[in-house]
Structure 1
Amino acid sequence: MATSTAAARREEARLAYDAFLEECPTGQLLARISDKWVGLIVSALGQAEDRSLRYSDLGRKIPGVSQKMLTQTLRSLERDGLVTRTVTPTVPVRVDYRLTDLGSSLGGLLSSVKLWAESHFDEVSAHRDTFDRATATS
């Protein structure tokens, strides 16, 4: 069995997590966290007063999300270790979602992206209008 140098092992590790390579697992993670519903759910949980929200509260806070998409996204976030789910056996059953430490570290980034979008939408919209007018006349 051939041994490799420390430099060769570092280069292999660097290439193994190069999101620009199709087979890279970090590309899959980037696809997950760039999902529209992931960003909104993580941002909503990060802004919650006690850092947790009930399922129904999340559904009300995020307009347009279907129950199916909310459930699927919350399950995937729980699977990835970004969200915890706590069931309280009451009548009716209470289910709360909270960001984990890992989810909170992502939440800061996604909240910044959300704020950027809210702050720059008018500017982007104006550029779209200009582009659309220019391409319609071409």
Structure 2
Amino acid sequence: MVADTATGAAGEAWASGTALRDSFPDVTGGANLHWAAGDRLVFLSATSNWQQLYTVPASGGAATRLTGDGFMVEHVALSPDRATLYYSANTGATPDDDTRRHVFAVPVSGGPVRAITSGTGLEWTPAATNDGVALIAASARDAGAVQ
């Protein structure tokens, strides 16, 4: 629901489905609901059986998926200008990435996903900054540290 605080008028921007997988996401940050640039709402939903990022106009309408399938989105951060989402997910181009986490970026208006990290390490918990993104990284030889 979205409400205009000046007028008190409210309306439904989006409603989840009725299947169990449409329930409130059980990941860090829950639904990770953000009010993004262009008066768009972004949130996590597992309607595809994988927790993915979706966007919908704050005025209402159909939700558009921003991320792929076959992996789970976890930690989500919105950039200071509210135009980019940074997230960690168990996917990537390196073999066995389904057992690791890497950080990615996607525009809230939709468009191509960009890998921020890759390789055989683990990266998670992105925090958006004015200069890009900070994250926690670890590998078989290095304990988790902020980068």
TM-score above 0.5: no
TM score, norm. by length of structure 1? 0.25
Q: Which has the higher strand share?
A: 2
Q: Which has the higher helix share?
A: 1
Q: Which has the higher contact order (CA 8 A, sep 6+)?
A: 1
